[in-house]
Amino acid sequence: MKTTEQTTQTPKSKRIGSFNQRRAEIVIAALFLVTAAASIPGAFVLDSILNASNYLAQVFPNKGVVELGSLIWSINNIGIVFIAVFAFGLLRKLDEALAVGYLASRIIEGTIMMIGIASTLLLIPLSQEFLKSGAPQGSWFLTIGDVLKQAKFLGLTGLSLPMLGLGGLLFTWMLFRFRLVPRVISVVGLIGYAAVLFGSIVGWFGLIDVAPGGNGTIFALPVATFEIVLLPFWLLFRGFKIPEALERTAAK
């Protein structure tokens, strides 16, 4: 009787594990697409107002647009963390240290970007008081506004992009090392995240403009190809090769 119980439970456990893995792959693929669909329009919605020369006079009258852009960006910020959460359950079976590093980097990235969102929303009451005061030029309102704008830039771009590059390198290195996806996909990811990391650091020195629409956007093209096209669609239709990778690891 004991032998029969173990025999019936073992296949059942494998089916449950396979279902959980497939569910995680679909969720990860969907989140990559959702975060891309949120971050790109969110950036341009906010920048269309905040990049204007008289931005402080425009923020409060267009607070609905600013709030919408902030909401869309927040969806991206939350989504990237959950990508790592769902991937962690799969990746930790292969290399727990790298899996923890990837999860930690995405949590830090998401937190930094939420600080950028908070700075953006603080511009709304500042703009309201600025307009109530008659929009005085050369006032402390403009000084505080410029500081909040810089905090927004650092949170959504300047400081978050290096974390994106670092975390992405950990993730794609695991994809490459354990052959979880075809090598061409993981190589595109490795190149893309390395370009983002390099480009964002170069941007600190003002050599390129890493803001959306700037000349540094070219560094994001390989990552966009990886996150929007290659990886999500591979995960949706094929998935990770987790069992084979685990067998190779155990054999070593």
Cα atoms in the 13 Å half-sphere on the side-chain side of 198: 10
Model confidence pLDDT, tens digit, residues 161-189: 999 999 999 999 999 999 999 999 999 99
Burial annotation 115-144 (CB, 10 A radius, 16+ → b, else e): bbbebbebbbebbeebbeeeeeeeeebbeb
Reading the block at residue 186, the tokens are: 């993981």
Res. 223: pLDDT tops 80: yes
Q: What global pTM score does this model have?
A: 0.87
Model confidence pLDDT, tens digit, residues 57-102: 999 999 999 999 999 999 999 999 999 999 998 899 999 999 999 9
17-24 long-range contacts, CB within 8 A, separation 24+:
20/89, 21/90, 21/239, 21/240, 21/242, 22/239, 24/86, 24/87, 24/89, 24/90
Res. 9: pLDDT tops 60: no
pLDDT averaged over every residue in the chain = 88
